[in-house]
Amino acid sequence: MIPNNFRWGITASSVSAEGVSPQADWSSWESRGKAPRSESGAGFANEYTNDLGLAANIGLTDFRLTLEWARIEPKPGVIDLGVIDHYREILTTAKTVGLSSWATMHSTSLPGWFSKDERGFQDSTSRSRYWARHVDRTAEQFEDLVSGWAPIEDPIGWALRGFLLGTRPPGHTRVELTREAIKGIVEATFEAWRLLGSGRQPVMAVLGLPSVMPIDEGARPAARLWESVLWDTWLKALGDGEFVLPWETPVERPEIEGLVDIIGIVADHPIGINSQGEFRRYPSQGRIDGSGFCPLPEELGMTIRRVNNSLPAQDLVVASTGVATDDDDWRDELLNATINQVEWAITDGIPLRGLFYDSWIDGYEWNRGFETPRGLLTRERQLKPSGHNFSHRIAQYYENETFS
């Protein structure tokens, strides 16, 4: 049985919730016709008071917000105090309605000046000069209002999409650049964990941990390689204090071992890989959502157990789960199956402390625009049947408490 202190949360990227910042690298991606226009996203920037109140009313307890770096620091060293005030108003509203807030500092989009002019996370000087400064400054400005930090969303996934698959900025498809980007973003993640770990609030690692499945016999070496990148990089660092990448000599990093308070799991679907090293959906005949992959709640259950086997004392949460589809019956089916996986894991004694649904409101879905909604709430602020059923499911775990 899920305990009544379990965290039931929602999350969304800044671009999905409020549209792209003109100073972000995603803005130039849109202007070049690489993706549909995000406009105001889900409209959260203007509707947050109502949106957060509705979330609390259906029994949700937590809220993960991206504090968009490109809005906070549109130019190097130039801080937009109006944006700071706006984010503080959002976090204050969340606190007022009873939601605990988790702050993310990077989810896909970055300031254009950082990612392009300063070479982004790949450059060690930029990481120490700009990224570390941003992390410190954000902690100082918002630590009184947040309940925890989740500094970077799916770091290695960001590197793969931008440097190997070419589906997000900067749009490269080169292996050597991918390796450089992976190493840089992992180092930036370690640094954020270290800086934030000195504060009072817990730090959550939000990690994309899909299984990588060979589609044919010739794909087994590639599957092993990417499993190592996606899994060993994090589990060996946090469990053994060792930084391991398949193409480099392992480095002892004892300061990283046990550095985070919570591991946040992102595992909606497995990934297939063929003998040419190309990523494909898995299973090949499975039903795909708007991302082009096959959501499988069983995949989440397996991932929870696999992480727990490696780090048995570590608290876990499902940091992001959801499906991009206009079929709300399917969303409801998948969400129920996901909660079942969570309940079974807790029954087995796994320290699973929460689940964050992505997304609360139908918003912008990157390369698909507004075609494949993810939310429990429509852009017109109507709660979908899946949202009603989610509320009722949550209420079952509370004693003497009901929600609308």
Which pLDDT tens digit goes with each residue over 94-113? 999 999 999 999 999 999 99
Residue 121 reports pLDDT greater than 70: yes
pLDDT over 80 (residue 334): yes
The pLDDT score that the predictor gives to residue 16 is: 97
In the predicted model, is pLDDT for residue 404 greater than 80?
no
pLDDT for the residue 402 = 43
| Concatenated DSSP letters of 323-346 | ---S-HHHHHHHHHHHHHHHHHHH
Whole-model pTM: value is 0.96
Of 68, 60, 56, which Cα lies nearest the Cα of 13? 68
- CATH 3.40.50.720 for domain 7-395, yes or no, is no
- In DSSP terms, 104 is beta-bridged to 66
Conformational region of residue 347, where left means phi above 0, alpha means psi within -120 to 50, and beta covers everything else: alpha
* pLDDT tens by residue, 55-90: 999 999 999 999 999 999 999 999 999 999 999 999
Angle between helices 328-347 and 385-395 (to 10 degrees): 20
Beta bridge partners of 11: 64, 358
What is the predicted pLDDT for the residue at 129? 96
In the chain, domain spans: 7-395
Q: Is the pLDDT of residue 403 over 80?
A: no
pLDDT (tens digit per residue) in 304-315: 999 999 999 999
Instruction: Tell me the pLDDT of the chain averaged across its residues.
Output: 96
| pLDDT greater than 50 at residue 400 | no
Residue-wise pLDDT tens digits, 226-265: 999 999 999 999 999 999 999 999 999 999 999 999 999 9
Instruction: Give backbone dihedrals phi and psi of 331, rounded to 5 degrees, phi first.
Output: -60, -45
The pLDDT score that the predictor gives to residue 126 is 96
pLDDT (0 to 100) of residue 397 = 87
pLDDT at 352 over 70: yes
Whole-number pLDDT of residue 372: 95
- pLDDT score for 399: 60
| Helix, coil or strand: residue 5 | coil
Q: What is the pLDDT of residue 1?
A: 80
Token pair, residue 28, equals 């130039």
Separation CA 119–CA 39 (nearest Å):
27
What percent of the chain stands above pLDDT 90?
96
Q: Count Cβ neighbours within 10 Å for each residue of 311-325 and write b for 16 or more, e otherwise.
A: beebbbbbbbbbbbb
